[in-house]
Homo-oligomer: A and B are copies of this chain.
Amino acid sequence: MHRRAELVDQTRQRITEAAARLHTTIGPANTSIAAIAEEAGVTRVTVYRHFADLDALFEACTAHWQAENPTPDASRWPLTGDLDLRARQALLALYAWYRDHAAELFPLFRDLTAMPRSTQDLMRDERGQLGDLLVQGHAQDDDAGRQMRAVARHLVGYPTWRSLAIEQDLSDAEAAEIGVRMLTGMAASALAPGTR
Q: Do most interface residues of chain A lie in helix, strand or loop, or is the interface mixed?
A: helix
Query: Which segment, of A37-45, A74-82, A174-182, faces chain B?
Result: A174-182
Q: How far is the CB of A60 from chain B (nearest CB, A)?
A: 25
Among A124, A173, A195, the most chain B Cβ lie within 10 Å of the Cβ of A195
**Copies of this protein, total:** 2
Q: How far is the CB of A141 from chain B (nearest CB, A)?
A: 15
Q: Name the B residues within 8 Å of A55 (CB-CB).
A: none
Residue A171 CB within 8 A of the other chain: yes
Interface residues of A in 103-118 (CB under 8 A from B): 110, 112-113
Number of interface residues of A (CB under 8 A): 33
B168 near A154: Cβ-Cβ < 8 Å: yes
Task: Give Cα distance in the complex from A110 to B113, angstroms.
Answer: 8
B151 near A178: Cβ-Cβ < 8 Å: yes
Residues of A that sit less than 8 Å from B by CB: 29, 110, 112-113, 124, 147, 149-151, 153-154, 157, 159-160, 163-164, 167-171, 173-174, 177-178, 181-182, 185-186, 191-192, 195-196
